[in-house]
Amino acid sequence: MGSKKEIKEIKEIKEIEGGVCAAAGFKASGVRCGIKGPSSSKRDLALIYSERPCAAAGVFTANRVKAASVLVCMERVAGGAVRAVAANSGNANACTGAAGLEAARRMTETAAEKLGIPAQEVAVASTGVIGVPLPDFSVIAAGIGKAAEELDVRGNRNALEAIMTTDTAMKEGAREIEIHGKTVRLGGMAKGAGMIHPNMGTMLCFITTDAAITRPLLDKAFRQGVNRSFNRITVDGDMSTNDTALIMANGAAGNRLLDAEDGAFALFALALEGLCAGLAKQIAQDGEGASRLVTVTVEGAASEEDAAAFAKAAASSNLVKAACFGADANWGRVLAALGRAGPPFDPACVGIAFSGGGMQVQVCEAGAGLPFSEHDAKAALSHKEIGIEITLGRGPGSAAVWGCDLTYEYVRINGDYRS
């Protein structure tokens, strides 16, 4: 339970519509240019643009193998002034050598030319099949030109569609808060269904805000939000080459500049973290082949970091995930997963419960099994959203991680991903 101050702040955060176009001064578009192949009718190139200069921050994959788009995007974000993003689906532009790197840079340069801004203010992102060269650049250039022409304050859904791969649902959200008497909005969109694991996963996330905030504080708030959201989801244990999470703040709200870690900044950071968490849960829920969203919560760890490590270990265990698919209350698999998480703990103090549909069934206490109704446990675990609650009795640390079950459909999807 949060403090009274935290609860008051949460009430001041309002969910709104609009995705990346919710914040003032931002436009977006999504077009089909043929990256997904001549036979595909799907949009495959998105553009997000701020009419005003922006402060920007980003977080990228921890994989040592990084896509060309990630390398170029990291360069652009290091400058701190990104105000536009060109993103494509259908091709990861990863492991494509010097040609891939040149193509990523040309994407930023082409978008910059169409928008009338410096190339250093344009970021790039890609998602799709690894190791395949992008099509002839003339195709991409034409798509970027079309996307620039179609930029619109209601273009969020078209842009979101253009970055989807195996996603089965659109993932977006927006928040509204008041800072210094001004209405401040934050909006975001994300894609991701497979290659999802803590330290980000095959995901793209773009967040916009009209808050006036210094880049150092924007970076701090964003890293905290990412750490407590996108770094706490897992689908299949594979870490992508292309993970990119980017935020742009253009100051159009007109609030006094957030330049100190005061109450106004705390509210902004809380709203940003909530937006990131909402998008992260949508990714976990749409995991490839998934039939259940699994929330693993850990309480009583020595620290928040330890709690997150334990929750990640349980949520990413294929045996635990398979048990969730079968609605099998196999609590021993959960306890075994905790043992490989890394941080020390006393197995004799562990408690485990399964929940779903408003039911909670305690199955383990003091590290040993309890008599419980298999019927009730199966009923709880048969819901679309289920929980695994773990107590360690060691300290004040707590954390939640979101994952999904492991189904036959996951194997089918990834068995013929390229074809």
Residues labelled as active-site residues:
202
Q: Are strands 359-365 and 368-369 parallel, antiparallel or unpaired?
A: antiparallel
Separation in Å, CA 133 to CA 47, 90, 110, 141, 174 = 21, 11, 18, 15, 35
For residue 411, with 0-12 CB atoms within 10 Å meaning exposed, 13-18 middle and 19 or more buried, which class applies? exposed
Q: What is d(CA 23, CA 21) in angstroms, rounded to the nearest whole number?
A: 6
Q: Annotate 219-252 with three-state secondary structure.
A: HHHHHHHHHCCHHHECCCCCCCCCCEEEEEECCC
CB distance 255 to 211 below 8 Å: yes
Q: What is d(CA 400, CA 126) in angstroms, rounded to the nearest whole number?
A: 29
Residues linked to residue 123 through DSSP beta bridges, in sequence order: 85
- Residue 174: count other Cβ atoms within 10 Å of its Cβ: 26
Contacts 24+ apart (CB under 8 A), 318-324: 318/237, 318/406, 320/388, 321/294, 321/403, 321/404, 321/405, 321/406, 322/405, 322/406, 324/292, 324/294, 324/381, 324/386, 324/404, 324/405, 324/406
Separation in Å, CA 410 to CA 91, 289, 322, 329, 416 = 20, 4, 11, 21, 11
